[in-house]
Structure 1
């Protein structure tokens, strides 16, 4: 049987924290754990995913990495830049090799990329979002991340704006890094196993709807979808398909007014994420949850589902995946499960990563 996340309630403490957030699983996978619910993506889950391969057909679940185009979705993120490397002071593209005493036939191309790692189809690392939380139990909140890893100690960055943003000049050295919870921890798990499609678009169309627990359960029940511990859950909203139709010229009013989004303020929905044991939560939209979230009284997280998943549970989030062709195929064939292979870049210290996920059915 597939093991669920540990549920013991005994008092846990570590060198990094004296108390953990309510509803979190800090320490349940080990006091130094950096994988979170990826721990549930076991050999058994991989075999279950392989067993879902019936037709031997593969689907690319990545948008072209120069989509959405522009920076309407996030003003801080920009499309990738491709440039040739230099060879002998010349651009190394269609470069003809010449030998000193012999004629060469080689023509070479070599390039580099400047990437905003969370611009297009992406994974969020557990270092992507932390919270102000009193982990020391002294009444004073401090900036911490999943399993109590600390800002400025485990996740570091520059103090000056001159050391942030797009690089200026030739190849500056790195000025920030997640010494813990970086995306490489996810990459080392290979991210391959059984995934489950929840087709919100088939029931809700392109209308902007906040999806809470009741709506999600109604859709799942209607389609006979079941999520078990260790499954990776994909939410098809149709957002990425709308984005593709705009040809890298996204309109802000359309993007903020179309397709279903999860209601991160719905406590019952968050509890279902906890109880289901899902290993990762993936959507074809921006942020997975409604952004901005519904208004709430008092101080709270601006991105409550990110807080719940990344900070409390160690559940990685996938955003802006291209799910429509796969969702249509699964619906036509009366299926909801498939084998998913979706490792991020093994880029040490990164807090997010592009992905080129592959679904096999």
Structure 2
């Protein structure tokens, strides 16, 4: 961890980051981590790993990935589900071949190359000519060589809204606010701590996979998905809690279409005002999308335990933009 010449450091508040005038983008954590390629995963250090290991008591394990081809066709119209072929050199052997393997078509982690800051560059000021195949800076391999391990905390928004008598209707693609995260934590009796891997459960991925073909087509063609409204409140919540990873079971973390009130329409016009620029390229937050949280949440509701040891080891693709999350929760 470091301190910039202007006094910005890992303990600075989001308000401090938003008021930067030192050449870095306002609202960014550029220059505060000694290992910038890890982004906010730096918050999950040795202490967090040791404490997370203490959460393993029952010996139960949960895989947090859906199958690679589960979302077929994927919500993103520019991606496709992979085609798996078993090949053989002779009658006694078998090998695998994947065609059309888009690494972010199913449960995945968005890396720090996924979005740049318009007018500035990629996270921590990495120039465009460094963000190419085989060049390691900001590559997903940083989290494969040194996997992200820590305390995972489930925030069950689906359960929260059902308890409120206002269940989420995913066909409509409702917008969520950051206050719901605090309400869920209070309802569950948990506290989000520095270095946590936050796992937000809305039920969206399970709904999409179980939905009729007509409903899946409707939300895909309308690019409509439950998620967080574009607002500085979510950025403040994520940064001020010093979380390592923000994982969800939603398509894009944020609501789509973008909320008409998004304050980022001028600074992120290419994405119609999405927050990916703010979360990934400015704050350095690894974003988890389409995660499989169903069984973990069912266990949480049954046993009243909302945390677990979580490990995340993406594919070791040097210079990769994203990867299947390869995430596991252990209790």
Question: How far apart, CA to CA, are the structure 1 residues paired with 2:275 and 2:134?
Answer: 24
Call closer, same or farther: CA 1:52–1:342 in 2, change over 3 Å. Answer: same
CA distance in 2 between partners of 1:259 and 1:335 (Å)? 28
- Equivalent of 1:7 in 4, 8, 12: 12
Q: Which has the higher Rg, Structure 1 or Structure 2?
A: 1
Match of 2:184, SS? helix
Distance 1:343 1:58 in 2: 16
Deviation at 1:113, TM superposition (A): 1.5
Match of 1:112 in 2: 97
Is contact 2:225–2:255 with CA below 8 Å preserved after alignment?
no
CA distance in 2, matches of 1:131, 1:225: 34
Over 3 Å counting, the alpha-carbon distance change for 1:76 and 1:259 in structure 2 is closer
Please give the secondary structure, in 1, of the residue aligned with 2:181: helix
- Residue of 252, 259, 269 corresponding to 1:287: 252
Task: Provide the residue aligned with 1:331 in structure 2.
Answer: 301
Distance 1:43 1:249 in 2: 48
> Do the aligned residues in 2 keep the contact of 1:201 with 1:260 (CA within 8 Å)?
no
Distance change (3 Å), C-alpha of 1:349 and 1:250: farther
Q: Which residue of 2 aligns with 1:319?
A: 289
Contact 1:70 1:250 in 2 (8 A): no
CA contact (8 A) 1:68 1:249 kept: no
The structural deviation recorded for 1:242 is 1.4
C-alpha distance after superposition, 1:246-268 (max 9, x if no partner): 498871325669874111x2222
1:239/1:258 contact within 8 Å kept? no
TM-score of the aligned structures, taking structure 2 as reference length = 0.84
How far the C-alpha of 1:215 sits from its partner, in A, is: 2.5
Q: For residue 123 of structure 1, what is the aligned residue in structure 2?
A: 109
Q: What's the offset of the Cα at 1:273?
A: 1.0
Question: Alignment length, in residue pairs?
Answer: 304
Whether contact under 8 Å (1:206, 1:258) holds in the other structure is no
The residue number in structure 1 matching 2:3 is none
CA deviation vs aligned residue, 1:308-327 (integer Å, no higher than 9, x gap): 22111111001111101101
Matches within 5 A, 1:12-31: 19-30=23-34
- How many angstroms apart in 2 are the aligned matches of 1:56 and 1:67? 27
> Which aligned pairs between 1:125-164 and structure 2 lie closer than 5 A?
125-133=111-119, 135=120, 144-151=121-128, 153-156=129-132
Aligned to 2:143: 186
Tell me by how many angstroms 1:120 deviates: 0.3
1:44-74 per-residue CA deviation (whole Å, 9 max, x = no partner) reads 1111111111211001111111011114x11
Distance 2:239 2:26 in 1: 12
Give how far 1:127 is off: 0.4
Q: How does 1:36-185 map to 2 (within 5 A)?
A: 36-71=39-74, 73-85=75-87, 92=88, 95-96=90-91, 107-114=92-99, 115-133=101-119, 135=120, 144-151=121-128, 153-156=129-132, 176-177=133-134, 179-185=136-142
Cα distance in structure 1, aligned partners of 2:195 and 2:154: 14
Q: Structure 1 residues 186 and 247, CA, compared in 2 at 3 Å: closer, same or farther?
A: farther
The Cα of 1:344 is off from its aligned counterpart by 0.3
1:116 positional shift: 0.6
Query: More deviation in 120-129 or 253-262?
Result: 253-262
Distance between the aligned counterparts of 1:320 and 1:328, measured in 2?
17
Q: How far does residue 331 in structure 1 lie from its aligned partner after superposition?
A: 1.7
Larger relative helix fraction: 2
CA contact (8 A) 2:122 2:281 kept: yes
Q: 1:189 to 1:202 in 2, by over 3 A?
A: same
Listed as ranges, the gaps of 5+ residues in structure 2 are: 1-8, 162-166
1:299 to 266, 277, 280: 266
RMSD: 2.7
Residue number in structure 2 paired with 1:342: 312
Conservation of the 8 A alpha-carbon contact between 1:6 and 1:29:
no
With the length of structure 1 as denominator, give the TM-score of the two structures.
Answer: 0.77
Q: Kindly state the Cα deviation for residue 269 of structure 1 after the two structures are TM-superposed.
A: 2.0
